[in-house]
């Protein structure tokens, strides 16, 4: 859990493949945290919120990049 406070600036420096990998890791952690919560073994409830927000940051950045790419494709066609 080296990325406790994953900042958007750090994410912007990542490539698309790195973002996809990061999203996969975060989703796995989110699943594990939900499982721990269900079994009563969750240590840090705040971590659930942090991971959820990190997932949202990654997804937002991916959508922004796709929109930018689509916009530049349209300009190239014109």
Output the six-digit token pair for 33. 């945290």
Taking 90 as the threshold, does the pLDDT of residue 72 lie above it? no
Pick left, alpha or beta for residue 40 (phi over 0 → left; psi -120 to 50 → alpha; otherwise beta): left
Contacts of 4 (CB under 8 A, 6+ apart): 50
C-alpha dist (Å) from residue 20 to 44, 59, 77, 78: 25, 9, 28, 31
d(CA 44, CA 1): 12
pLDDT in tens, 40-59: 999 999 999 999 999 999 99
Residue ranges of domains in the chain, CATH in brackets: 8-77 (1.10.287.310)
pLDDT in tens, 13-40: 999 999 999 999 999 999 999 999 999 9
Q: What is the pTM of this model?
A: 0.85
């Amino acid at each position: 859990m080296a990325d406790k406070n994953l900042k958007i600036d750090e994410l912007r420096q990542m490539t698309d493949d790195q973002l996809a990998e990061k999203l996969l890791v975060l989703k796995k952690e989110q699943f594990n945290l939900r499982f721990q919560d269900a079994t009563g073994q969750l240590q840090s409830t705040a971590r659930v919120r942090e991971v959820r927000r990190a997932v949202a940051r990654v997804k937002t950045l991916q959508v922004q990049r796709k929109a930018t790419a689509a916009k530049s494709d349209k300009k190239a066609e014109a």
